[in-house]
Structures are given as structure tokens and as C-alpha cells.
Structure 1
Amino acid sequence: MRDRGMRQHGAGHMVDHDAHQRIAADQIDILDAFHGNAPCVGADRRCAAATVGVGCAALRNVKRTGAEKVPRSVLWKAPGQASGAARILPNIDRKSMKHRVFAAVLCAAASFAGFSGSLRAETLLTEIGCGGGMVEGPGGAVTLPARALDDGSFDVLMIGSSSTAGVGSGVDLAYPAVSGHLLAERLGDAASVRVVPRGVGGERADGALARLAREIEDTRPDLLVWQVGTNDAVSDVTLDALQATVTRGIAMARDAGIGVILIDPQFYPRVASNPRYSEVVEMIDRLGDETGVPVVRRFERMRRAEILGPDQMNALLAKDAFHMSPLGHECLARDLTAMILSTAALDPRLN
């Protein structure tokens, strides 16, 4: 099952990308370069000196006119040289040289901006408290990954809607991929980690429930993470119907011997005008209490970010001010990972 549609993400960590498509590279703009979200890879290898976790999306805006012409020799004169002392440098095209110098300058700027952006991002994540507090949720404890450590593998099915599909961040920066990396780092040699993200943009809880049995059969996970409620909260689904759907999904997973964690809806500024949205969040959190299922309280985390100020709130949101940004996904991944690992904190194999 691990060979189909999966790609290695570091030692012991794999992410299944069957259900996803990448966001096109040309959709990443220069703002992403400033925030360090567009690493210098692939077509931007001319920026190889700046590949240490910084952005080089600015290169994509460089015109390549003349760069592909056949190189010709040009005259180059060192500063202070007499006119007759000019040296010939073979195989260098003047326009190509200008292009490369400009690209190098952009790379240097992106490197500095990316480094500064990374520091700022970490500061924001610390201010918001991502990965600490509010991760135990109102529910009970998951018996994982202790069981997973027994057989040396930890398989996680993450089902949900656009957040799980990586809208606003791209698949590789979405919370399933990031939490997979974090889990792999923490578990080390104790267990290999496989994360299977199965997100469908715009899907409601009943849609996820309709495919849940098939997803469980296909992936045979140790843990189900269900990101649920956002699309139901902005539709005409009744609270009773939503609660019944989520309850059935929890029971289905438990009958299969799978642990369950819920992720409640995200907070966004316009939610203040929709009292029903808060009712859905409260119902999911309450259901966690009643069923003993931990809930990652994403809504509360993001709401507290808004209280801290616009910088913190805006950092967690994508440009549409609804979906999460890469930083928002990072925050959610830290909270989710902390919840999972808190259940195994006393396991001697992790100490």
C-alpha cells in the first residue's frame, strides 16, 4: 500500500499525494519570496547559493530575453586599465551576463528577505502559541502512537476539505505534510511515519463520511485525523445532522480499531457576522467531550491570534482571508503534532 502515489519526505517519512495536485509555481509571487515560502529549487537553480530555506520566487519575474542566445566573446576591461589593455573573455554574452548579474542580485535580496521572513515567522508562531496549550482539547486521550511504536510504523489518515487538500499553501506546505515531518523528527528510529492526506475542497462532513470506509480500507491507518465542520457551518446543514454524521464517523473508525482526532473549523475575520459558525465549533468541541475524542481547537487558536493583533491574524490567513496561509498550516501542524505526541510522552522509546 505504501508504494502507490507516494513520495519520500526525508528519512522514515512518506506523504501520499494521490488525491492532490500541486499549486503551479507561477502562482507564487514575490511576496512569497519575502516570507521564504518559495525555495530555490527546480528552474531556479541559478540561485543555488541561496537555497538554505529561503525564497527565490523573484527570479520568476526576470525576463530571459537574450539569455538563450549563442554566447559570443566580448571585450572586458578591468578598472584602471588603458584602452589598449582590454582582455578578451571568451564565451560570455553581454546580455546574458547582465541577466545573470541581475538574477544574482535578486537572489541575494531574496536570501536576506527570506532569512528575515523566517525569523519573523518563527516569532509570530511563538507569539500565537502554536504547539503549546489548547492541544489537549476537551476530549480524551488517544492510545497512539504507543501502539504504532510496537510494530515500528505509524500510519495516519487525514481526511477533510480544502485545508487538508492544501488550499492556500500548496500540498507540501499543508498541515498533513508538515505534521508528518514533525512526527518523523520526533519519533526518529522508533517508528516510520506515513501520512495519507485525503482532502476534497468544499466537501461537507456527509461527503467525508460517505468515503470514509473506503479510505480506511485503502490506507489501513493507525490514526484518523478528521478536519471537519467548516463547509457545514457555511451551508444549510442542521447542527443535529452534522453531529449525527460526525458521531457515525467516529464510531466507524473505532470499530476498525483506529484512534480518532478531530480538527474544528478555522477562524476568519468575517465569522463574526455568522453566529451559526460558532455554534458548529461549539458542537464539535462538545462532541469531543461526549465521545472522548481529542479536538484540535483550531478556531480558538486563530481567534486568539486576532486578539493579539492584525499582524498575527493576517499571518495565518491566505490572500482570500478565509483559507490558511503556509504559516497557518504550520501552526495547525504544530498543534496537531503536540496532541499526538502528548499521548506518548512517557514512552521510554521516545526518551
Structure 2
Amino acid sequence: MVPRRHGQGAGPPQCGARRGESRLRSLSGLVAMAGLCIGLSLSGAAAQPDSAAAPSSRCAVQAALRTFAEDLPNSRTALRDGRSLTIVALGSSSTAGTGASSDQTTYPAVLKAELERLLPGHEISVINRGIGGNSAMQMYHRMDDEVISEEPNLVIWQTGVNDAIGDIGLDRFKRMLRKGIAKLREAGIDVLLMDQQPLPRAERYPAYTDYLTALREVATETSVPVYRRYDVMTELLRDGRLRQDEIFSSDALHMVDGSYYCVGTTLARSIVEKLAPRALGAIR
């Protein structure tokens, strides 16, 4: 089951190419619709979620939203050779876990637990290097000491939120992404980008979705995979899988246990499908 949100009495607690500006800018309407959709059964949802082998059907989304075509060669080789799979989760508050009820309910902790479930017999390490408020530039400057020094096979770089809120400039943001990706690749590390979460009151930040598009453009340009968090969370809201308070904290900026859980589990499944599809088939 999806874990309960801290303090909640009932029920569980708690994004490649441009997909069209109208969809990216439609979150406010989707959030409003979510309350109406809660009563719908999952079987009545229009999308067909990839629920087979998913730990919770409430987190299941269309496979097309969370999968990626790009390879993770270093990570795949580590698993094939029986070596430990070491992942560094680099990011801001969404990685650090602001809004989570405990360290165990952050997305990196959930990711580790789900990878261990899907890859029994493999040693998995997920190191949390999230610092609230960090921009892409600040994360770039932390890479040598806090990321590369850990000798990971894979870095999941969650970024873009604070750059968009502060509107630092799209060119500057894209430049930092390119530099960070190049630095990690030079160190022989796979890179997986995680884009922004949707915001209930995104109109406060007029350029927010422009940064989402910018991140995906750099990913396409550099052939780096993207976990499309924006799309995953938007679908969870639209289909009534999770209520707004199971996804967002009261400040309408940060995630909570429900959304951390769904991000961690769906991301784990996407990684395993890429690295060891036979293992996932055995679970299924």
C-alpha cells in the first residue's frame, strides 16, 4: 500500500521533447479536476496503467510516461558483473525529502527499497545528496566532492525547480545542465535527469514550464534519459489516484509521503526495465 502521510487520519499520505504548451500549462485545471475524480474506480480510468508487478496500483501510470529509450551502460554492466549498483540522488528539497514524514519515506529511500525488491541478490546503494533550495549551478559545484567521490554507477539529477522559481535565465540553466552532464560522463557515470514536479499554483511562476521544456531539450540534445516526474504526478492527480494533499504539502511547493512513494517506486521499475528486464519479468 501507499504509505500514510504523517499525521493523516485516514487513507494513504501522502517529465524528451516538447509535448505541447497547452498540456504543460494545464496543471491548475487538472488539480481542480482531481477532487472530482477521487471517487472514480481505477478500472474506469481512460489511461491503461502498467499495473502488473507494481507495488501499488495507485502509483501505476502509463508506461510511456515513465520509461526512456536511452541506455544506462555503466549501471547495466555493474549488475551483469555482479558488482554493487551505487546510485547518487543529487537534487534539491525533492531529493532531500522536505515534507516527508521520515528519512525512510523520501524518494531515494523508497527507490532503494523497491530496487532491492525487484533485484533480489544484488547489492544496492542509494546515497542522498539533496539540499533544499539548490539550483543547478549549486549542484554542479557539489559534484566533485559529494557525487563523483562516491564512485557511483548512476547519478539521478533532480533539478530545475529552484531555477524556474527564481527564473535565472533559460540559457544559463541549459548551460549548467550541459556542464554537469559532461562532468559526470567524463567520470564514467550514467546520468538520469529528473524534471520538475507540477505545482498547484504554477501561475505564480510564469516561466515554470519553460524550464521544464529546457531540461527536456538538453536531455534530447545530449541523449540523457529523463524521468518525467511532471507527467507522472500530473496523471496521478488527473486520474484521482492520489488526492492533492497526498501529493503536495500545505505550502503547495513540496512533496509528501504519497508522492515520494509513487516517484520512488515508478522510477525503480523504469530503471529495472532498462537494466534487467528479465528480473522484472520474473517478479511479474
The answer to whether TM tops 0.5 is yes
Does residue 308 in structure 1 map to residue 239 in structure 2?
A: yes
* Residue in 1 that maps onto 2:106: 174
Structure 1 residue 253: Cα displacement: 0.7
User: Where do 4+ consecutive residues of structure 1 move more than 6 Å?
Assistant: none
Alignment gaps of 5+ in structure 2: 15-41, 43-50
Matches of 2:264 and 2:196 in 1, distance apart? 14
* Residue in 2 that maps onto 1:134: 65
1:321 is aligned, of 252, 258, 273, to 252
Q: 1:34 is paired with a residue of what secondary structure?
A: coil
Count of matched residue positions in the alignment of Structure 1 and Structure 2? 239
Q: 1:341 is paired with a residue of what secondary structure?
A: helix
User: Quick one: structure 1 residues 163 and 278, their matched pair in 2 at CA, closer, same or farther if it must change by over 3 Å?
Assistant: same
Partner AA of 1:282 in structure 2: T
Between stretches 304-313 and 242-251, larger displacement belongs to 304-313
Structure 1 residue 205: Cα displacement: 0.6
2:138 is aligned, of 202, 207, 228, to 207
Q: 2:224 is paired with a residue of what secondary structure?
A: coil
* Residue in 1 that maps onto 2:26: none
> Following superposition of structure 1 onto structure 2, how do residues 70-81 of structure 1 map, counting pairs within 5 Å?
none
> Following superposition of structure 1 onto structure 2, how do residues 9-88 of structure 1 map, counting pairs within 5 Å?
28-29=6-7, 31=8, 33-35=9-11
Between stretches 244-253 and 211-220, larger displacement belongs to 211-220
Q: 2:253 is paired with a residue of what secondary structure?
A: coil
Matches of 1:126 and 1:347 in 2, distance apart? 21
Query: Whose RCO is larger (CA < 8 A, sep 6+)?
Result: 2
Summarize deviations over 1:11-35 as a string: whole Å, max 9, x none: xxxxxxxxxxxxxxxx943x2x534
> Following superposition of structure 1 onto structure 2, how do residues 254-293 of structure 1 map, counting pairs within 5 Å?
254-293=185-224
The answer as to whether partners of 1:262 and 1:294 remain within 8 angstroms in 2 is yes
Structure 1 residue 131: Cα displacement: 7.9
The answer as to whether partners of 1:168 and 1:323 remain within 8 angstroms in 2 is yes
Q: 2:259 is paired with a residue of what secondary structure?
A: helix
* Residue in 2 that maps onto 1:147: 77
Summarize deviations over 1:204-230 as a string: whole Å, max 9, x none: 110000011112343110100000000
Does residue 343 in structure 1 map to residue 267 in structure 2?
A: no
* Residue in 1 that maps onto 2:23: none
Q: Please give the TM-score of this superposition, normalised by the length of structure 2.
A: 0.75
Matches of 1:350 and 1:257 in 2, distance apart? 29
Summarize deviations over 1:252-274 as a string: whole Å, max 9, x none: 11101100100001101111443
Partner AA of 2:110 in structure 1: V
Alignment gaps of 5+ in structure 1: 1-26, 39-119
Matches of 2:242 and 2:157 in 1, distance apart? 29
The answer as to whether partners of 1:243 and 1:287 remain within 8 angstroms in 2 is yes
* Residue in 2 that maps onto 1:233: 164
Matches of 1:348 and 1:315 in 2, distance apart? 31
Summarize deviations over 1:60-109 as a string: whole Å, max 9, x none: xxxxxxxxxxxxxxxxxxxxxxxxxxxxxxxxxxxxxxxxxxxxxxxxxx
Structure 1 residue 37: Cα displacement: 6.3
Does residue 296 in structure 1 map to residue 227 in structure 2?
A: yes
Partner AA of 2:150 in structure 1: T
Partner AA of 1:156 in structure 2: I
User: Quick one: structure 1 residues 37 and 315, their matched pair in 2 at CA, closer, same or farther if it must change by over 3 Å?
Assistant: closer
Structure 1 residue 346: Cα displacement: 4.2
User: Quick one: structure 1 residues 306 and 244, their matched pair in 2 at CA, closer, same or farther if it must change by over 3 Å?
Assistant: same
Matches of 2:150 and 2:281 in 1, distance apart? 25
User: Quick one: structure 1 residues 338 and 128, their matched pair in 2 at CA, closer, same or farther if it must change by over 3 Å?
Assistant: closer
Matches of 1:326 and 1:349 in 2, distance apart? 25
Structure 1 residue 136: Cα displacement: 1.9
Q: 2:198 is paired with a residue of what secondary structure?
A: coil
User: Quick one: structure 1 residues 235 and 348, their matched pair in 2 at CA, closer, same or farther if it must change by over 3 Å?
Assistant: closer
Matches of 1:305 and 1:348 in 2, distance apart? 26
User: Quick one: structure 1 residues 311 and 214, their matched pair in 2 at CA, closer, same or farther if it must change by over 3 Å?
Assistant: closer
- For the pair shown, the structure with the greater C-alpha radius of gyration is 1
The answer as to whether partners of 2:88 and 2:152 remain within 8 angstroms in 1 is yes
Q: Please give the TM-score of this superposition, normalised by the length of structure 1.
A: 0.62
